[in-house]
């Protein structure tokens, strides 16, 4: 972490005195903290000073005060309570800050033993950053928290990714052009890059070159994980090393939980760039909401681990038919058995998130509650395995998970014996080791628990010996145990031969000590302290017992998550009538009665039905040119087919009556665009950048949806670009494509492009109003209905009248001269058009034109005939 300009760089003596010892210590720690905010422990608070305090106060909305002076200026200061620090940390991390935690590494008593004026020693014990969180309070239980590192060696780029909250550790090699797309799939919370790697973008952190030394990484990986994949390239080793070096830095010596690094092949997953993911709103809507995304709509998982796995699946659909089919088989198995689904839901709900509990334990941040979660989770996994093992016709995917859910008997037996039923989160107060596990500990606890009776007996004895009935034995945090009597009874106890030692005189009481009380107090205190030490020793023992088979426990967590995801797909498919897709090695995309899952769910909440539409693409009919009015459903139709591909290749059923899908290697969506002011790009530039990415990368196996290419520039430029793009997709890329447009001229391409067919979304005008039918039909749209949509939106009639006149002239001029501007000179001015009467309409003619004779039932035909007769009467 780069060191920023800070007060410690300017620390000088001012006047006759220099910085206080505490400020000297703080400045030294701040030097280590660099650009992180420094949480400096002072008693029950973490304090922040100087610019750190100003930033934290603004982010947390807490009071900013000052403490003394430094170089003649007041020292800005703010603080947060230690017991509530995690809540404040969460807000700071979310706001983009990093935090260094400086804890007291000795007690005030230990400091005093070094000298009466010795300052309590402090050190940075941890850096808290967005990609290295493990605490439940700082994490989203249903989302991964990825740390990524990018390295480049001799032109080869590799990305390593880790989620230390669950142990995931992976690496893959990517092409430079696919770097952004891969990062979009991983969606890391923090990105590290080598100074010799790709140019750092905003938000990336450049780390020292030595962190990415491939040979040093190989040695460290081998020492930590044993046998290492010999196929790791130098770039991959460098990226993995970048992760390990950073984790060592932020953990200050503690070892984060990571499983053996897995090498992933990028081509094994359906490729989607960042623009496509945002356009399709796969895991988050454009506004950032999870609820309105595909993930938020279909997620029926009952565990946090399952939700995270589902998000990973949707972000990285598969390309291998065998793997996809295995997932479909598992979903189909549960789809057919509602009773088993309900039983598994109950079983999974009872299983804690053992993956994240394990991550905290291995990282040295675990609690007794985490140990209890490991115990309960492994026991739950065992019971679930037994249930599934007795179930007939297990699909291969589920059957293959069963070995990962067993083999923990000795560990669970140990944890069952050692822990109470509900261990606490806080371990410093003890009480989490079960009675009967350690006889010596039980004795110590009994001594501590019996303290009241022992003290009461001693109090009765002293009363009898002294004859003072008002004598009491009390306790406070300063004096410990003491004897207290009213002042009128104090004189006999003051005598040297009384056996009592005077400690304190108050207005209403006099306090004493006595040898027997001292011995009893010492015995009680020592027993309590020794009991806490014994529990702490057992905690370390149990932590080691859990850490040793960490990889096996992580495999169990993964198996539970996969079962949860399978169950989620089956539940949603059964509830909404989804179908199992058929996957092929061909180039077809045939979907019957397909629906958009998110839009359908939103309409269902309003009591409305979604209009289903199909598509049929193959090698001989690769491109559909779809026309029709705005708001007619073109964009929804395009997106729903892309989402169906994603759902199918991620292993789920799809919202359709049936679907046959040839494997898609890359998916592109250019539907809508907006200015990217941060990068200095207009809407049209964004549109062209996204279109260029498609034309440069789409293959014959790709699926492309394009909407309104060319609309961001002049009519002729836009039409020319749209024309050329359609030709390129058809002739060069030769991929499956749905192309929506308002350019009616493009329909002429059907005459020259043999694999292009024309389609439109149906609309009708009824009594002067536009009726959008949201149905996709063959053939081109008869017109664009632009003025009708404008009327539907509430554009004033005088503007519509003027526009109609201009449109008529434009069409006349185009027909006569081929020039769009021909004939506009003799149009009356807008002011003159404002008072023009609305054009007369032939209601009967419009009503007849709106009738789809072939679609009417006999009853509907009769009703329509009566309606037409009524119009004739009017």
- The answer on whether 630 is annotated among ligand-binding residues is yes
- The answer on whether 1 is annotated among ligand-binding residues is no
For residues 243 and 169, the answer to whether their CB atoms sit within 8 Å is yes
- Terminal-to-terminal C-alpha distance of the chain: 81
Instruction: List phi, psi (to 5°) of 19.
Output: -60, 150
| Cα 458 to Cα 240: distance, rounded to the nearest angstrom | 65
| Cα 153 to Cα 194: distance, rounded to the nearest angstrom | 10
**Quick one: which of 389, 380, 391 has its CA closest to 349?**
380
| Cα 661 to Cα 676: distance, rounded to the nearest angstrom | 35
698-713 burial, b at 16+ Cβ within 10 Å, e below that, comes to beebbbbbbbbbbbbb
For residues 99 and 127, the answer to whether their CB atoms sit within 8 Å is yes
**Quick one: which of 791, 786, 827, 795 has its CA closest to 810?**
827
- The answer on whether 631 is annotated among ligand-binding residues is yes
Query: Residue 118 contacts by C-beta under 8 Å, 6 or more apart in sequence?
Result: 111, 112
- The answer on whether 633 is annotated among ligand-binding residues is yes
**What is the CB neighbour count within 10 angstroms for residue 477?**
5
Query: Residue 482 contacts by C-beta under 8 Å, 6 or more apart in sequence?
Result: 473, 474, 475, 476, 503, 504, 511, 512, 513, 517
Burial of residue 871, with CB atoms counted within 10 A of its CB: 0-12 exposed, 13-18 middle, 19 or more buried: middle
Burial of residue 592, with CB atoms counted within 10 A of its CB: 0-12 exposed, 13-18 middle, 19 or more buried: middle
Residue 257 per-residue DSSP state = P
| Cα 426 to Cα 185: distance, rounded to the nearest angstrom | 37
**Quick one: which of 129, 125, 163, 135 has its CA closest to 35?**
129
Rounded CA Rg of the chain = 36
Residue 729 per-residue DSSP state = I
437: its two tokens:
């596990």
- The answer on whether 400 is annotated among ligand-binding residues is no
Q: Which residues pair with 151 in a beta bridge?
A: 158
- The answer on whether 547 is annotated among ligand-binding residues is no
386: its two tokens:
């037994």
Contacts 24+ apart (CB under 8 A), 205-208: 205/1, 206/2, 207/149, 207/242, 207/245, 207/246
Binding-site entries: 628-635
Binding-site entries for ATP: 628-635
């Amino acid at each position: 972490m780069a060191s920023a300009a800070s007060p410690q760089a300017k620390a000088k003596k001012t006047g006759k005195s220099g910085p206080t010892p505490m400020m000297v210590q703080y400045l030294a720690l701040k030097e280590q903290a660099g650009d992180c905010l420094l949480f400096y422990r002072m008693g029950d608070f973490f304090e922040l000073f100087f610019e750190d305090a100003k930033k934290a106060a603004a982010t947390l909305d807490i009071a900013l005060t000052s403490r003394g002076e430094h170089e003649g200026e007041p020292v800005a200061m703010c603080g947060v309570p230690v017991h509530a620090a995690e809540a404040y940390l969460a807000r700071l991390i979310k706001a983009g800050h990093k935090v260094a935690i400086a804890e007291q590494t000795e007690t005030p008593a230990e400091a005093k033993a070094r000298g009466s004026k010795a300052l309590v020693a402090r050190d940075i014990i941890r850096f808290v950053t967005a990609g290295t969180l493990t605490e439940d309070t700082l994490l989203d239980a249903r989302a991964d928290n990825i740390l990524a590192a990018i390295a480049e060696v001799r032109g080869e780029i590799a990305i390593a990714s880790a989620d230390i909250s669950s142990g995931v550790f992976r690496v893959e090699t990517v092409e430079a052009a696919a770097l952004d797309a891969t990062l979009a799939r991983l969606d890391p919370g923090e990105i590290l890059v080598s100074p010799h790697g790709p140019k750092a973008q905003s938000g990336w952190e450049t780390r020292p070159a030595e962190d990415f030394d491939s040979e040093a990484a190989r040695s460290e990986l081998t020492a930590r994980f044993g046998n290492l994949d010999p196929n790791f390239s130098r770039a991959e080793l460098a990226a993995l090393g970048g992760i390990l070096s950073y984790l060592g830095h932020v953990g200050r010596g503690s070892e984060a939980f990571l499983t053996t690094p897995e090498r992933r092949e990028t081509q094994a997953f359906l490729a989607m760039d960042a623009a496509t993911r945002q356009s399709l709103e796969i895991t988050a809507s454009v506004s950032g909401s999870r609820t309105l995304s595909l993930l938020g709509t279909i997620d029926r998982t009952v565990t946090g681990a399952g939700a995270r796995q589902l998000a990973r699946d949707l972000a990285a659909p598969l390309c291998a038919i065998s793997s996809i089919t295995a997932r479909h088989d598992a979903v189909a198995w549960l789809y057919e058995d509602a009773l088993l689904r309900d039983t598994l839901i109950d079983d999974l709900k009872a299983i804690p998130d053992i993956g994240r509990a394990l991550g905290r334990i291995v990282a040295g941040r675990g609690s007794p509650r985490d140990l209890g979660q490991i115990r309960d989770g492994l026991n739950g996994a065992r019971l679930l395995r037994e249930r599934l093992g007795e179930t007939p016709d297990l699909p291969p995917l589920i059957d293959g998970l069963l070995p990962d859910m067993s083999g923990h008997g000795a560990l669970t037996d140990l944890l069952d014996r050692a822990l109470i039923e509900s261990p606490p989160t806080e371990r410093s107060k003890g009480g989490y080791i079960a009675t009967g596990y350690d006889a010596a500990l039980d004795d110590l606890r009994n001594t501590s628990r019996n303290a009241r009776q022992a003290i009461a007996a001693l109090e009765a004895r002293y009363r009898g010996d002294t004859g003072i009935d008002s004598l009491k034995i009390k306790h406070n945090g300063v004096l410990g145990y003491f004897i207290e009597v009213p002042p009128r009874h104090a004189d006999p106890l003051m005598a040297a031969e009384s056996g009592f030692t005077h400690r304190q005189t108050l207005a209403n009481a006099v306090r004493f000590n006595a040898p027997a009380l001292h011995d009893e107090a010492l015995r009680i205190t020592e027993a309590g302290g020794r009991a806490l030490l014994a529990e702490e020793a057992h905690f370390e023992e149990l932590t080691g017992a859990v850490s040793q088979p960490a990889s096996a426990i992580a495999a169990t967590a993964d198996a539970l998550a996969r079962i949860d995801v399978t169950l989620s797909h089956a539940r949603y498919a059964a509830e909404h009538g989804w179908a199992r897709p058929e996957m092929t090695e061909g180039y077809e995309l045939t979907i019957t009665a397909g629906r958009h899952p998110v839009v359908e769910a939103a309409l269902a909440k309003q009591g409305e039905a979604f209009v289903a539409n199909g598509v049929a693409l193959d090698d001989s009919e690769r491109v559909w040119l779809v026309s029709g009015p705005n708001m007619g459903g073109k964009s929804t139709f395009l997106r729903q087919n892309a989402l169906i591909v994603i759902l199918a290749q991620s292993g789920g059923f799809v919202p359709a009556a049936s679907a046959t899908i040839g494997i898609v290697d890359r998916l592109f969506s250019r539907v809508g665009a907006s200015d990217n002011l941060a990068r200095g790009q207009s809407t049209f530039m964004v549109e062209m950048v996204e279109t260029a990415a498609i034309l440069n990368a789409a293959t014959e196996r790709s699926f492309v949806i394009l909407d309104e290419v060319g609309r961001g520039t002049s009519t002729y430029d836009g039409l020319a670009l749209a024309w050329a793009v359609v030709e390129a997709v058809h002739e060069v890329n030769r991929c499956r494509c749905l192309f929506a447009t308002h350019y009616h001229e493009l329909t002429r391409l059907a005459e020259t492009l043999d694999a292009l067919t024309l389609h439109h979304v149906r609309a009708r005008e009824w009594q002067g109003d536009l009726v959008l039918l949201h149905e996709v039909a063959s053939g081109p749209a008869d017109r664009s209905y632009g003025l009708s949509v404008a009327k539907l939106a509430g554009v004033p009639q005088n503007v519509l009248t003027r526009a109609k006149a201009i449109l008529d002239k434009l069409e006349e001029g185009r027909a006569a001269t081929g020039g769009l501007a021909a004939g506009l000179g003799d149009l009356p001015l807008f002011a003159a058009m404002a008072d023009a009467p609305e054009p007369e309409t032939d209601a009967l003619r419009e009503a007849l034109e709106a009738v789809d004779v072939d679609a009417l039932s006999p009853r509907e035909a009769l009703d329509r005939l009566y309606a037409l007769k009524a119009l004739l009467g009017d």
